[in-house]
Amino acid sequence: MNTNWFLSLLRSSFRAAIIPLIAVLLAAVIGAIILAASDASPAEAYQALLKGAFGNSRATARTLEKATPLIFSGLAVAFAFKAGLFNIGAQGQLLFGALTSAVIGFSIQGLPAVVHIPLALVGGGIAGALYGAIPGLLKAYTGAHEVIVTIMLNYVAIQMTDYLTDVPFKDPPPNIITRTPLIADSARIPSIEALDFLPLGFVLAVIIAALVWWLLEKTTLGYEIKTVGRNPNAAHYAGIRVARMLVLTMALSGLIAGIGGAVETQGVIGRDQPGFNVGLGFDGITIALLGKTHPFGVIPAALLVGAMRAGSSQMQFDAGVATEIIDVILAVILFFVTADIIIRKVIRLRAGKEEQMTLSTGWGQQ
């Protein structure tokens, strides 16, 4: 029986992974065609990309640093997906998490690291959760669609965090750059000297992914979230408080994104500076879809995108290729993953029941 279970798990994992893998391969082929058309060597470009991503311990650490916030933002999007919600607002939630963590990091002095680090992380997570709860409340009690609301809230978050880092929380003169002061050393996430290629932020991201999987698969709350995502009407008749579940799911999604922003502040940048976190939340949509909205699928998807981001500079330096080609390849990957019917037609693969996803509930549906 255990053998049958293991074989079943392997088959389901293979079915879940085959579409993203083929999407990546097709995107790499299309990228090679574009490179060749621009008089660049595809082999040289991809070799430089791998060198920049994994060529040495520092390059590997850089890749993991790039992947860390992507895991958090991908988890945030994937988690909301389970309740049938499409959280486009991970970017704004991440920005508020990064800023709140920075404020706690530089404004409170004298705390031991064992207190200061988790305090700033939790503060960033709470900020993201509060911001994520807003579209959840509007969705649950007014029927406002979360896609529209979160898109608008992203722009609100960008403008508000820009203002806050430029006026009340700006690094004092002689600095003229819009940014917060450096956080205290006691708030910085330390590195492991013996494992200089492995940032602690990445370890935390993997732990959070495991916790999200456990919550969704092993708890009553996770069962209720997934039930709401599959059929909110049936969930309502089963006694599940659908409105509360929508708000809670969006808040928890924002919590995950906010912690991601805090980790970026405390583990990489050391302060909040507009521009450094731009795009991380939006990339989370690609990560979640590429990982088939599975908490553990998000990790390799984030590593792939992180490697491409980390190695793009080396590719530009060695092969003379514009870094924008990475965005083109990522866009093609996203296209093939979301329009997977194209790949299924090519390889004649039928979609299993567990692979069918609904991006969002209806406009007025609760």
Confidence at residue 365, expressed as pLDDT on a 0 to 100 scale? 44
How far is 166 from 169, CA to CA, in rounded Å?
7
In a domain, 235, yes or no: yes
Q: Which residues contact residue 161 at a Cβ distance below 8 angstroms, ignoring those fewer than 6 apart?
A: 95, 96, 98, 99, 272, 274
User: What's the distance, CA 343 to chain centroid?
Assistant: 25
Confidence at residue 363, expressed as pLDDT on a 0 to 100 scale? 39
In a domain, 172, yes or no: yes
> pLDDT, tens digit, for every residue of 158-174?
999 999 999 899 999 88
In a domain, 91, yes or no: yes
Confidence at residue 1, expressed as pLDDT on a 0 to 100 scale? 46
> pLDDT, tens digit, for every residue of 329-346?
888 887 877 766 666 666
In a domain, 10, yes or no: no
**In the chain, % of residues over pLDDT 90:** 62
| pLDDT confidence bin for 352, thresholds 50/70/90 | low
Q: Of 254, 273, 283, which Cα lies nearest the Cα of 99?
A: 273
In a domain, 56, yes or no: no
How far is 319 from 325, CA to CA, in rounded Å?
12
In a domain, 361, yes or no: no
Q: How many domains does the chain have?
A: 1
In a domain, 148, yes or no: yes
pTM value is 0.89
> pLDDT, tens digit, for every residue of 33-45?
988 888 888 999 9
In a domain, 4, yes or no: no
Domain limits for position 222: 71-280
How far is 164 from 175, CA to CA, in rounded Å?
16
